[in-house]
Amino acid sequence: MKRDIDHLMNERGLGAAIVLQGEHMSPTFRYLTGPRAHLKGIVVWRPGQKPYLVHHAMERDSAAATGFALGDYGSLGWMKLLEDEGSQIKATARLIQKVLDTLGIRGRVLVDGVVQLGWYYHVLNHLREMKPDLEIVEDQDPGLFELARSTKDPDEVKTVRTVASVCERAYARIREIIQGARLEGKKLRDGEGPVTIGRLRREVRRVFFEAGLVEPHGNIIAMGRDAGVPHNEGNDKDVLEEGRPIVVDLYPAQENGGYYFDVTRTYCVGRAPQELKELHTLVHDAVRTTVDRLAVGTPGRVYQESVCDLFESHGHRTIRQDERVEEGYVHGLGHGIGLEVHERPRLSAASNPDLILPGSLFTVEPGLYYPSRGLGVRIEDVIYAHHDGSFENLTHVPYELEIAPA
């Protein structure tokens, strides 16, 4: 949580952190300034002191709303620095040096953010030359801000719940379309014509748009063979067919860089083949048994191991047996969610150091995939670890596999 940042910095011997945001949004910058603030610039975070924000004058209202100490580029003499240095790269380094000197910062400093990598590589090299009393340190794993963001306070969770409720409406709309259509042979049609993957996708986006949500990474609505490849987004031209799996994975966020939600269900129009029913039942069992076993303080990797045990006991190959596996269970069990769709903690195996902590917000999303047989099943819920040690499933979307058309 944000309140942990100062403690984590002191624990790692850091005098300050410099967090950068250019044209592309930095989750850490948004975390510090407010998730939906219209800002870019530089935040200097010092333990026990008011953060300092370098911003453009055009964004002065958003900057003032942060409550930070402020310095805009004009007041800091940006144009004069640019004239003196003769390049934006050197001028940027000089600007950061000027701010750090004004704030009395020296010694061990962490740099974070989202900027042009090659450009800022040279900025930081020039900064080292200009300010020899500065040590730019290597971050640990997990990163300092990754670790702070991996646990959520009640206000953050309240915001995530609002996104979750919109996802529920999107899934209800999908079921409504299927239930209102009819089968002509194996294909699904209604008064508007064939019911396609693209039609479902447009309806989902309409629900999200009306609620002020966006899809920075798109969505997955994939049928048959495509449902058997976890990140295949699906073919908009495909007409829904009886008996084929449809994996629907929605992960919208609040517009202007807010919080995400992430939920997956697998549907089938009409009656499902026996093999698909068995896969769906087993994946659902994996979700249920994982959630029932969750405990604060445990490593995320133990839950991945348990799901691998379950699937392997039923004859399915897993990524634990072979990291190259393409059929069976081919990915990790889950991930944190917040200002990014994939955050810490991770529920994966091997060297994963992440723990389930009070305040952790994460997905549980096992799946079984057989594209060669036109099959794929994934179920994904979002779980919150309360501070009293209890767990809450924030996902309220039915698990039903079969949806009967009209």
Task: Please tell me whether residues 139 and 44 are part of one structural domain.
Answer: yes
Domain boundary among 130, 148, 166: 148
φ, ψ of residue 323 in degrees (nearest 5)? -70, -10
Task: Please give the average pLDDT of every successive group of 10 residues along the chain, which has 406 residues.
Answer: 95 97 90 86 97 95 95 96 95 97 97 93 96 96 94 96 98 98 97 97 98 96 98 98 98 94 98 98 98 97 97 98 96 97 92 94 98 98 97 98 96
Q: Please report the pLDDT score of residue 349 as a whole number.
A: 81
Q: Please report the pLDDT score of residue 392 as a whole number.
A: 98
Task: Please tell me whether residues 205 and 241 are part of one structural domain.
Answer: yes
The widest CA-to-CA distance across the chain, in whole angstroms, is: 75
CATH number at residue 211: 3.90.230.10
User: Which of 103, 105, 79 is closest to 91 using CA atoms?
Assistant: 79
User: What's the rounded Cα separation, in Å, for the pair 141 and 219?
Assistant: 29
Domain boundary among 104, 127, 148: 148
Half-sphere exposure of 373 (CA within 13 A, CB side): 14
The total number of structural domains that make up the chain: 2
Q: Please report the pLDDT score of residue 25 as a whole number.
A: 87
DSSP-derived secondary structure letter, 217:
T
User: What's the rounded Cα separation, in Å, for the pair 96 and 78?
Assistant: 11
Domain boundary among 108, 123, 148: 148
Task: Please tell me whether residues 132 and 230 are part of one structural domain.
Answer: no
